[in-house]
């Protein structure tokens, strides 16, 4: 087998803004990677923008998608348990803000008007949510109008145990060096002028800022039906306690159909009605919308805008205000948890379907009851590992990047201590960290080529759980690295 090149990789490629894509979309990316010939991988350019670096990013995406899939399963399991125990706590309040352009500047005014009538029926009538529409470009600056609409939505409706939904339907474009998402009234510049001579354009990232602040008390669910919708997550990520999910009609480089039978908004309405059921009795996480749309093109995506370590999902259900208050009061009166223990299940099958996960959650409560245990407060899905294969490139990627992150954190810690280390010592430690990063790149490209060719992993032995063994520390690969650098 030809030797794999050493490919430089910056840590930014491990945290690409499009790291959390849909499962089916990432599967397509992964399947495409498996078709690459080893010779083609070996000839990948030694450049951060080369095909090998794209492979690194794709495997990072694959790993992040795995986390999202597991998070979705956790949410399905937890919801099934809560339903079986009758401990589901609904939001005390859900408020919806629908954003659209004024008819005078909206290129598809009639189509959007028809769809918004259906959205109001869904949110206000079927779900019982508080509903409001705001027209951009009707008066003054569209940017100020958008900022004010979102700020007002927050100030009037935010609070603990509340959910804010914001949906935009209209044009979207990317502008500037950072490719920021701009909401647009009309695709033709000469027609994209609103009242007062203002250009009918508004920057989404600027308007979104209040939704990501630590002071935000409510959960947030944003739905963007516009071209390049996933570009909304390009910048400004932050961490927080609450849940903020963004459902995008398409990826950051795709366009989406105009209003009509094939539009994302129509598909969203159909999916919501299907999941709610005829009597609106069902409750489901927002990620289930994406599962139902997995065959749609362009492929929608859902994003965690707060990048929390343990993901939590927005839960959608018909709002019964009296029942929500009753459930909240009951939960506050329950006795505290005094004991808990952890079980581990092992399976010979590589994965569980969403249906199996939900069934498992709903039946486990019956098993506890059958054991004459009547003080069960809850059952939680803590962590899981599926498709375990130590030779799989995903396992190699995870092991290598874990090593990189650990070494990088160590380097950052050394860099902050200016008194303890001299400049020369710091340079040596930084070089060691960069060496580790380069070795991780080498391991990944090698694993990909060998997996595609069906050969054994020569330099990357793995334990049964896919972790890095003592023989594959970065120092042991310095000889390999030196040899490869000599060839390039």
CATH number assigned to the domain comprising residue 154: 3.40.50.1460
- In DSSP notation, 190-240 reads GG-B-GGG-BSEEEHHHHHGGGGSTT--SEEEEEEESTTGGGGGSS-----
Dihedral in degrees, nearest 10, Cα atoms 66, 33, 289, 223: 100
Q: How far apart are CA 274 and CA 282, in angstroms?
A: 10
392 in a structural domain: no
170 in a structural domain: yes
How many residues appear in the chain? Answer: 488
Q: How far apart are CA 399 and CA 260, in angstroms?
A: 47
Q: What is the domain count for the chain?
A: 1
Task: Kindly report the backbone phi and psi dihedral angles of residue 313, in degrees, each rounded to the nearest multiple of 5, phi listed first.
Answer: -115, 150
Give residue 50's pLDDT.
Answer: 42
As a three-state string, the secondary structure of 327-344 is HHHHHHHCCCCCCCCCCC
Q: How far apart are CA 243 and CA 256, in angstroms?
A: 26
Task: State which residues form the domain around 228.
Answer: 91-319
> Which residues is 224 bridged to in the sheet?
168, 248
- Nearest CA among 97, 96, 11, 24 for reference residue 57: 11
435 in a structural domain: no
pLDDT single digits (tens) 386-400: 655 555 555 555 566
Residue 439 pLDDT level (bands cut at 50, 70, 90): low
pLDDT single digits (tens) 326-336: 666 665 566 76
- Nearest CA among 290, 252, 240 for reference residue 68: 290
Can you tell me which residue has the tokens 């902050």? 416
Give residue 148's pLDDT.
Answer: 96
pLDDT at residue 150 greater than cutoff 90: yes
61 in a structural domain: no
151 in a structural domain: yes
165 in a structural domain: yes
- In DSSP notation, 118-149 reads HHHIIIIIIS--EEEEEEETSSS-HHHHHHHH
185 in a structural domain: yes
Give residue 441's pLDDT.
Answer: 57
pTM recorded for the entire structure: 0.59
449 in a structural domain: no
Share of the chain above pLDDT 70, in %: 55
């Amino acid at each position: 087998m030809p030797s794999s090149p050493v490919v430089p990789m910056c840590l930014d490629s491990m945290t690409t803004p499009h790291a959390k894509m849909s499962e089916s979309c990432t599967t397509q990316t992964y399947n495409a990677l498996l078709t690459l010939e080893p010779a083609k991988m070996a000839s990948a350019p030694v450049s951060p923008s080369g095909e090998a670096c794209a492979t690194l990013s794709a495997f990072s995406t694959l790993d992040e998608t795995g986390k999202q899939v597991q998070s979705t399963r956790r949410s399905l399991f937890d919801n099934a348990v809560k339903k079986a125990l009758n401990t589901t706590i609904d939001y005390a309040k859900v408020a919806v803000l629908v954003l659209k352009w004024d008819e005078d500047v909206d290129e598809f005014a009639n189509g959007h008007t028809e769809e918004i009538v259906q959205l109001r029926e869904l949110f206000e009538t079927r779900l019982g949510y508080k509903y409001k529409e705001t027209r951009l470009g009707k008066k003054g600056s569209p940017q100020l109008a958008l900022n004010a609409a979102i700020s007002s939505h927050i100030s009037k409706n935010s609070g603990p145990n509340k959910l804010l939904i914001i949906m935009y339907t209209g044009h979207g474009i990317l502008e500037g060096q950072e490719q920021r998402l701009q909401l647009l009234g009309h695709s033709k510049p000469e027609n994209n002028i609103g009242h007062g001579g203002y250009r009918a354009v508004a920057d989404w990232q600027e308007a979104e800022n209040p939704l990501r602040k630590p002071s935000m008390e409510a959960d947030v669910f944003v739905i963007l039906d516009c071209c390049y919708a996933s570009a909304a997550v390009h910048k400004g990520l932050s961490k927080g306690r609450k849940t903020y999910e963004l459902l995008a009609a398409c990826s950051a480089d795709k366009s989406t159909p105009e209003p009509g039978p094939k539009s994302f908004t129509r598909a969203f309405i159909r999916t919501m009605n299907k999941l709610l059921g005829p009597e609106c009795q069902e409750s489901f996480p927002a990620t289930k919308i994406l599962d139902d749309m997995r065959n749609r093109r362009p492929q929608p995506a859902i994003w965690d805008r707060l990048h929390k370590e343990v993901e939590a999902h927005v839960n959608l259900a018909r709002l019964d205000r009296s029942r929500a208050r009753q459930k909240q009061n009951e939960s506050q009166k329950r006795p505290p948890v005094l004991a808990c223990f952890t079980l581990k299940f092992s399976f010979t099958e590589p994965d569980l379907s969403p249906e199996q996960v939900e069934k498992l959650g709903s039946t486990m409560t019956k098993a506890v009851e059958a054991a004459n245990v009547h003080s069960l407060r809850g059952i939680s899905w803590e962590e899981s590992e599926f498709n375990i294969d130590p030779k799989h490139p995903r396992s190699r990627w995870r092991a290598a990047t874990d090593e990189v992150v650990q070494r990088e954190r160590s380097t950052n810690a050394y860099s902050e201590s200016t008194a303890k280390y001299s400049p020369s010592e710091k340079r040596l430690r930084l070089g060691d960290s960069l060496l580790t990063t380069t070795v991780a790149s080498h391991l990944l490209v090698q694993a990909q080529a060998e997996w595609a060719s069906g050969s054994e992993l020569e330099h990357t032995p793995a334990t049964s759980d896919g972790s890095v063994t003592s023989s594959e520390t970065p120092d042991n690969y310095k000889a390999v690295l030196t040899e490869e650098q000599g060839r390039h």
